[in-house]
Structure 1
């Protein structure tokens, strides 16, 4: 049953503020049972009479076996949907679907794994770290954001990571700059075998470029706006190069959110490249 999504009416167990973010823990046994690191959930917002029809997608931060299975996700208030979620209280009901998407692939053998997170994009990296430790992998962290209150999980990373490097654009925590700035030195110091990254698209683009330069594999969990979360609405398509070398517009919610970084055409996100299959003139000569 692992990975098969279900729709459940979950019950909010706890709500908490984590600096600039909100975290909700929801009793959702069917989703928790099927979860793998990198999966996400979608949540209906606004209540039954709402005009907000589309669900909101959130990466899963943590899953526990308590109360038959709980799911925790982290978010920032960015509009009416997330504002409504931030007002939820314990025992409120939430309509959730999950687990959704393609999870992080794990190394077959013990490896040195570098986990890179930007803002609350680092939330899904901690369940990944737990899974990697179970496979006797070494885990190091690089976490960053604009300011200290937007770096998520620094204390936990320091507790479970072999090393943890923190960056902020304003210098309020760790080193001044971005995760991309420090990445080459950290890859060299840790002798990383593989990089896993989650965060804003510009960050993923920069992380991927560094990993290509170092010739090490990189798995990125792409942040792209989703409306349905199940592959129907096509709002979350990005251009990705397939095994055959051809570019296709693929859905982040079903073919992703995890991709091999070098396969994502970050420079063309938001467009349909002229050479993509199905694009106007994209499949000429094929």
Structure 2
């Protein structure tokens, strides 16, 4: 849906910005892993491309609100961070393919790195409704960049929340992937769900493969249109038939099976990808 949403609240969450927008149609259709595409800069801006942002939380029962969590990293997101209550912004969503949910109750480990930790929070609610056990591994470079720790602790009444920071300022010193093998072993996990930087997703997938369990990843790729037209977010993914195809993160993802994503080739078109020219991989973008 394309809607004009009214900003309800804005707040700082340590290093991040959280924006709650009234968008009832999007809230009703949201599933964990969906994202929205947000217009930035105002009516006369030269910033013509939208910004793709994951949805952290929805409340369909309170007028239909969605909460977006992001870093003010450039002119577009900085403009968005300056919005105030009663301002309006244009959104398209919910977009993409959400996380697949297990049919039967199982043990799930949810991994979130940096502001990617905003994504597993609503997923945990959906898994709990299906009788799944949920354990969290959340981390970042420093304490102010670990998102969602308090809410995860409130949600995980009979589970665990493992926090990691690279500088040791909160939880265990190291990356989420340093703690993940132990959590998988201790909880006898059946599946891992993850969101974060591509490097982290690559390492999480490797841990899952080593443990012999599936990994579902929500990738963080730059998106210009968010609806599958511009082809700026393509990445190489192996299909069920063993053939590598350049898939669009926005339309074919953003959730993929981790072992199917060729993380080492992201940013290139592998020579063996369907339709690729011969003579080796070439860079895209």
Q: TM-score, normalised by structure 2?
A: 0.96
Q: How far apart are residue 124 of structure 1 and its match?
A: 1.4
Question: Are residue 166 (structure 1) and residue 163 (structure 2) matched?
Answer: yes
Q: Which among 99, 105, 110 is matched to residue 110 of structure 1?
A: 105
- Where in structure 2 are there 5+ consecutive unaligned residues? 280-285
Segments of 4+ in structure 1 off by > 3 A? none
Separation (CA, whole Å) in 2 of partners of 1:239 and 1:188:
30
Which SS does the other structure have where 2:85 is aligned? coil
Separation (CA, whole Å) in 1 of partners of 2:28 and 2:149:
27
Q: Which among 253, 271, 274 is matched to residue 250 of structure 2?
A: 253
Separation (CA, whole Å) in 2 of partners of 1:116 and 1:64:
23
Separation (CA, whole Å) in 2 of partners of 1:65 and 1:255:
26
Which residue pairs with 1:15 in the alignment?
Answer: 10
Q: Deviations over 1:140-184 (max 9, x none)?
A: 000000000000001111111210000000000000000011111
Separation (CA, whole Å) in 2 of partners of 1:122 and 1:144:
8
CA RMSD across the alignment: 0.8
Question: Are residue 216 (structure 1) and residue 213 (structure 2) matched?
Answer: yes
Which residue pairs with 2:59 in the alignment?
Answer: 64
Separation (CA, whole Å) in 1 of partners of 2:177 and 2:247:
26
Q: TM-score, normalised by structure 1?
A: 0.96
Which residue pairs with 2:137 in the alignment?
Answer: 142
Separation (CA, whole Å) in 1 of partners of 2:152 and 2:264:
31
Which SS does the other structure have where 2:268 is aligned? coil
Which residue pairs with 1:152 in the alignment?
Answer: 147
Which residue pairs with 1:229 in the alignment?
Answer: 226
1:33-72, aligned counterparts within 5 Å?
Answer: 33-72=28-67
Separation (CA, whole Å) in 2 of partners of 1:81 and 1:210:
35
Which residue pairs with 2:69 in the alignment?
Answer: 74
- Aligned residues between the structures: 277
Which SS does the other structure have where 2:269 is aligned? coil
Q: Which among 77, 94, 99 is matched to residue 99 of structure 1?
A: 94
Separation (CA, whole Å) in 1 of partners of 2:119 and 2:202:
18
Which residue pairs with 2:236 in the alignment?
Answer: 239
Question: Are residue 270 (structure 1) and residue 256 (structure 2) matched?
Answer: no
Which SS does the other structure have where 2:251 is aligned? coil
Which residue pairs with 2:80 in the alignment?
Answer: 85
Q: Deviations over 1:165-211 (max 9, x none)?
A: 00000000000000011111110001100000000000000000010
Separation (CA, whole Å) in 2 of partners of 1:65 and 1:131:
14
Which residue pairs with 1:192 in the alignment?
Answer: 189
Q: How far apart are residue 254 of structure 1 and its match?
A: 0.4
Which SS does the other structure have where 1:220 is aligned? strand
Q: Deviations over 1:23-60 (max 9, x none)?
A: 00000011111111110001000000000000000010
Which SS does the other structure have where 1:68 is aligned? coil
Q: Deviations over 1:50-105 (max 9, x none)?
A: 00000000010000024420000100010000000000000000100000000000
Which SS does the other structure have where 1:228 is aligned? coil
Which residue pairs with 1:3 in the alignment?
Answer: none
- Where in structure 1 are there 5+ consecutive unaligned residues? 1-5
